[in-house]
Amino acid sequence: MRLKGAVVVVTGASSGIGEATAIAFARRGARLELGARRLEKLNSVAQRCRQAGSPDVNVRLLDVGQRASARAFIAATLRDHERLDVLINNAGVGWAGRVHDMTEEKVDELIATNLKGVINTTQATLPWMLERRRGVIINVASVVGFRPSPYSALYSATKHAVVGFSHALRGELSGTGVKVCVVYPGVTGGTEFFKDPDRPIGFQYPASWVANLIVRTARYPRRDAMVLPLRLAHLAEPVLGGLMDHAIGEIRRRNLQD
Ligand SMILES: NC(=O)c1ccc[n+]([C@@H]2O[C@H](COP(=O)([O-])OP(=O)(O)OC[C@H]3O[C@@H](n4cnc5c(N)ncnc54)[C@H](OP(=O)(O)O)[C@@H]3O)[C@@H](O)[C@H]2O)c1
């Protein structure tokens, strides 16, 4: 995939990984459509993307969990550019705590944003990509998409669902020219994801690393991507899985009690 002049859609571009991803694509001369719920933040990201070299940046209000909003967003992109080369499904929300403490609103929000959001934009995009027999869809999951984390049960479940959806869709689209890839970030700094600054979370990958991994995946959409130490941890999973559950559970339990 040649990125110069390509039309790239980034959901959840108003902060964190989405913002870093937009800037990383801008540096390669891509044209950008950025969506999220906070327009003011999107406008300042757009400004940085123009300075970084993008020839064309549009921002729009988007609530990925609302089917109508996702459809309108993708339709506007196609109206503006008459093409859509890369869709980055990045918008997401997290929640940490005990399952029995989750409110119904939180449950609905996690499923609507993290899972339905991916489905909504993908369904809106696919007809156009299939007709042209080209395009790349990159879904931002998480390490908890293959290693569920205690005290993040529903978040882990939504990311597992995104991985399952992506892999099944990849098979369904085989031979059509449309590619589907998953990116698995670990704990990533420079984001608004961990809102409690008093709670230490240990080593964090810079958002720019994850952004560069996403850009590389768009250029070579052959397979899923995760940063190297995580890939090694994934290989050790069958041996270390139980121990990791215990260790992560203990750390989180202590954090919650503090
Ligand atoms: N940070 C990490 O450690 C980490 C690790 C693994 C995976 N991830 C994943 O990475 C992705 C990006 O998260 P982040 O770490 O960059 O956190 P972040 O800074 O909180 O960014 C989340 C983005 O999603 C947007 N968003 C949330 N709900 C939305 C909705 N309903 N419609 C449209 N946009 C919505 C937010 O914008 P608005 O509030 O303006 O809508 C924001 O731009 C998420 O999918 C997350 O699950 C993060």
CATH of the domain at 119: 3.40.50.720
Q: Mean pLDDT score of the chain, rounded to an integer?
A: 92
The residue among 199 and 38 whose pLDDT is bigger is 38
* 151 given a catalytic annotation: no
Residue 249 domain-assigned (yes or no): yes
Beta bridge partners of 179: 136
Mutate to test the pocket of ligand 1, among 193, 196, 203, 213 (most ligand atoms within 8 A of CB): 193
Q: Judge if the beta carbon of residue 191 lies within 6 A of ligand 1.
A: yes
Distance 193 CA to ligand 1 centre (A): 7
pLDDT-based confidence at residue 194 (cuts at 50, 70, 90): confident
Q: Judge if the beta carbon of residue 233 lies within 6 A of ligand 1.
A: no
Residue 35 domain-assigned (yes or no): yes
The stretch 131-153 carries a mean pLDDT of 94
Strand positions, DSSP E, 37-186 = 57-61, 86-89, 135-140, 178-183
What pLDDT is recorded for position 241?
Answer: 66
d(CA 104, CA 216): 38
Residue 83 domain-assigned (yes or no): yes
Residue 41 domain-assigned (yes or no): yes
Q: Judge if the beta carbon of residue 122 lies within 6 A of ligand 1.
A: no
The stretch 44-53 carries a mean pLDDT of 98
Instruction: Name 52's Cβ contacts closer than 8 Å, sequence gap at least 6.
Output: 23, 26, 27
8-state DSSP, 188? E
Q: Which domain holds residue 130?
A: 7-257
The residue among 159 and 1 whose pLDDT is bigger is 159
What pLDDT is recorded for position 223?
Answer: 84
Residue nearest ligand 1's atom 46 by CA: 92
Q: With a cut of 80, say whether residue 166 has pLDDT above it.
A: yes
Distance 162 CA to ligand 1 centre (A): 14
How large a percentage of the chain has pLDDT more than 90?
A: 78
Residue 222 domain-assigned (yes or no): yes
Residue 92 domain-assigned (yes or no): yes
Residue 232 domain-assigned (yes or no): yes
From the alpha carbon of 143, which atom of ligand 1 is closest?
Answer: 6
From the alpha carbon of 18, which atom of ligand 1 is closest?
Answer: 16
Residue nearest ligand 1's atom 8 by CA: 142
Q: With a cut of 60, say whether residue 133 has pLDDT above it.
A: yes
Distance 192 CA to ligand 1 centre (A): 8
| Of 2, 17, 11, 52, residue with least CA distance to 214 | 17
d(CA 233, CA 241): 9
From the alpha carbon of 207, which atom of ligand 1 is closest?
Answer: 16
Q: Work out how many domains the chain is built from and give that number.
A: 1
The stretch 84-101 carries a mean pLDDT of 96
| pTM for the whole structure | 0.93
Residue 2 domain-assigned (yes or no): no
